[in-house]
Chains A and B, each alone.
With several copies, the nearest count.
Chain A
Amino acid sequence: MSPELLAALTVFVLAILCGFAVISKVPATLHTPLMSGANSIHGIVLVGSMVIAASATDLLSQLLSFVAVAFATMNVVGGYVVTDRMLQMFKRKPAAAKADGGAAPDAPKA
């Protein structure tokens, strides 16, 4: 096993342990925002997408990497924004009833 692979494996295992340790005793209230927050983090795949886009020469590679970059950016931007919107709801004092979107009641779905 090459030293680089061993190093990468070490990093992988440590990051897994971090992940386990971080989510320990979370109140259920925060499950959805946490899921959404973790969802934004894997948007880091944008870094990888940029790297392959930079070295893409043939058309297929260019196409694939374009889609990858667009997908990944959507994940990053949308993920963080939507998580922030969720968490805004948890503020303690509702700072003067703000007329936010989405408050418009909608027809029940069920």
Chain B
Amino acid sequence: MSPEALATLESVVRLVWLAGAAAFVLGLMRMNSPATARNGNLLSAGGMALAIGGTAVLLAARGEAGLTAWIIILAGIALGGGLGLYTARTVKMTAMPQLVSLFNAVGGGAAALIAIDDYIRLSNVQTFAPGGAIPLQVAIPTVLDVVIGSITFTGSLIASGKLMGLIPGKPIKVPGGQLVTLALAVVVAVAAIYLWLGNVSVPILFVIIAASLTFGVTMVLPIGGADMPVVISLLNSFTGTAVAMAGFVISNDVLIIAGALVGASGAILTKLMADAMNRSVINIIAGGFGGGEGTVAAEGPEGGTVRSLGVDDAAIQLAYAQNVIIVPGYGLAVAQAQHGVRELAELLEARGVNVSYAIHPVAGRMPGHMNVLLAEANVPYPQLREMEDINPEFDRADVALVVGANDVTNPAARRAGTPVSGMPILDVDHARSIIVIKRSMGRGYAGIDNELYVNPKTGMLFADAKQGLADLVAAVKAL
């Protein structure tokens, strides 16, 4: 290919990359609303295909890649693509967050590898020309990429492991704790400054890598499993930043744009996620009250009596109500009771009862958890009502049926001074009567008692969510 033709091709490929980057932005924009979200994801995927295709054409035209290089590329794509496709296709809906975290880990790893490879090559060149330093504008993004990418790699793996249950979900205190973390940070900082001062040293780079990889582990281990979605989102933002740095290292605009885009949007998303739980990101990373997964205490809240309710009573209340609002929570997800709840709702609707679902934004353990589960059980989308939307309607509800939800219904959130204070809650206590299905008087994620349970209007139906719903269905049918 003639030099002019190649130059033109380079320009064209750069424009193609730009088009790809634009598709990412437009795709994310469309993912802001449920109606266009899927389409937005496809747009983004199209942009990605374009960018990758353009790269392949450019590399082929440049002709610098030999047979080995092509084999490496194609084998890598086949291997990674196959693994990605297989795991993404077969994962269960409830196991998605851990998979996303895994994908995030490899993305961060790839970004770090680019900088590592680039640095080793540059250092080889420098060895032949001693005294010549690696310019600061390469050294800075290289080190940042390696540090952030490595932290993301191990951090995301740990997060994924916690969610898979391979690593205990409980906060694990690292021996030495904050001291170790501090020491690692100091090592990284000193080594980075050493390299930025103009010294070229691969061993020092490996010190940075090792310290950063360890840092990723010690950062995520002490955080409770229930906080993992926020942590994953944060690490996702990190990967974006690492990719942008990789873009600076190899002077590639599309990496810079896409990386910065993810870095920034991921940061906002992390904040939104934390906000929805009424916590700060700092608080989560520092290891908050997370990890106390249900069934802690068995005593009722002081000063109130708990009224236990039989299945038949509950069935009658539901069957003869006009308006029923179902409030699903984490317990429903754990018990995989989404199909049971749908069955009950259909039964009630067939009897002329109005049924809707009140979806708290952070019900469950990841944002949108309830929507995904109920959608999986084919609950019609319009029946799912968001908190702000449905809260006024509890006043008109005859029965609120709470299934495995706890914190998101706790009226204590309206007072100051409790761990849930300030978190917006579902106004379940405004309903004419309340039925709560859970196994015991156990606490929820925040680890505090729920005043709703001692409300005189409340009847407790102690059961596993799945079993309790099945019993209710049978009882309603028998009426």
Contacts and interface: CB of A to CB of B under 8 A. Distances in A.
Interface of A: 1-2, 4-6, 8-56, 60-62, 64-94, 97, 100-106, 108-110
Given A32-B97, A77-B81, A60 B76 contact: no
B80 A72 contact: yes
Given A16-B264, A38-B269, A110-B293, A89 B32 contact: no
Interface residues of B, number: 136
Contacts, number: 448
Contacts of B79: 70, 73
Given A33-B31, A76-B48, A84-B42, A12 B264 contact: no
Contact of B236 (A8, A25, A27, A38): A38
Contact of B94 (A1, A17, A29, A106): A106
Contacts of A71: 80, 106-107, 109-110, 113
Interface stretch (B179-187, B213-221, B240-248, B316-324): B240-248
Given A28-B361, A54-B59, 13 more contacts: A1-B11, A14-B21, A22-B32, A35-B233, A37-B27, A42-B104, A47-B55, A61-B120, A65-B113, A69-B110, A74-B81, A91-B375, A106-B336
9 contacts: A1-B11, A14-B257, A16-B261, A30-B367, A34-B265, A39-B103, A60-B117, A77-B81, A87-B31
A16 B263 contact: yes
Contacts of B236: 35, 38-39, 42
A79 B103 contact: yes
Contacts of B368: 28-33
A82 B72 contact: no
Contacts of B106: 70-72, 74-75
B358 interface: no
B266 A6 contact: no
B329 interface: no
B372 interface: yes
Given A2-B137, A15-B261, A36-B96, A89 B120 contact: no
B265 A38 contact: yes
Contact of B239 (A13, A42, A50, A103): A42
A104 B92 CA distance: 9
A41 B261 contact: yes
Contacts of B276: 28, 31
B102 to A, nearest CB: 8
Nearest to B101: A39
Contact of B258 (A1, A44, A92): A44
Nearest to B339: A105
Contacts of A40: 41, 44-45, 48, 103
A11 B103 contact: no
Contacts of B165: 109
Do most interface residues of chain B lie in helix, strand or loop, or is the interface mixed? helix
Contacts of B24: 41, 44
A73 B20 CA distance: 16
Interface of B: 8, 11, 14-15, 17-18, 20-22, 24-29, 31-35, 37-38, 40-42, 44-45, 48, 51-52, 55-56, 59, 62, 64-65, 68-69, 72-73, 75-77, 79-81, 83-85, 87-94, 96-97, 99-100, 102-104, 106-107, 109-111, 113-114, 116-118, 120-121, 137, 165, 229, 232-233, 236, 239-240, 243-244, 246-248, 250-269, 272-273, 276, 293-294, 334-336, 339, 359, 361-362, 366-369, 371-372, 375-376, 378, 380-382, 386, 464, 466
A107 to B, nearest CB: 8
Contacts of B272: 23, 26, 28, 31
A69 B64 CA distance: 17
B127 to A, nearest CB: 13
Nearest to A31: B367
A109 to B, nearest CB: 6
Contact of B254 (A31, A47, A89, A90): A47
The interface centre, meaning the residue of A10, A27, A38, A109 with most chain B CB atoms within 10 A of its CB, is A38
A52 B68 CA distance: 13
B88 A81 contact: yes
Contact of B11 (A6, A31, A69): A6
Contacts of B246: 45, 48
Contacts of A67: 76, 109-110, 113
A97 B379 CA distance: 11
A8 B42 contact: no
Nearest to B74: A69
A27 B114 CA distance: 36
B113 A20 contact: no
Contact of A110 (B17, B29, B334): B334
Contacts of A45: 107, 110-111, 114, 243, 246, 255, 259
Contact of A75 (B22, B34, B107, B117): B107
A104 B28 CA distance: 31
* Residue in B28, B359, B464 whose Cβ sees the most chain A Cβ within 10 Å: B28
A108 B335 contact: yes
A4 B380 CA distance: 53
Nearest to A90: B34
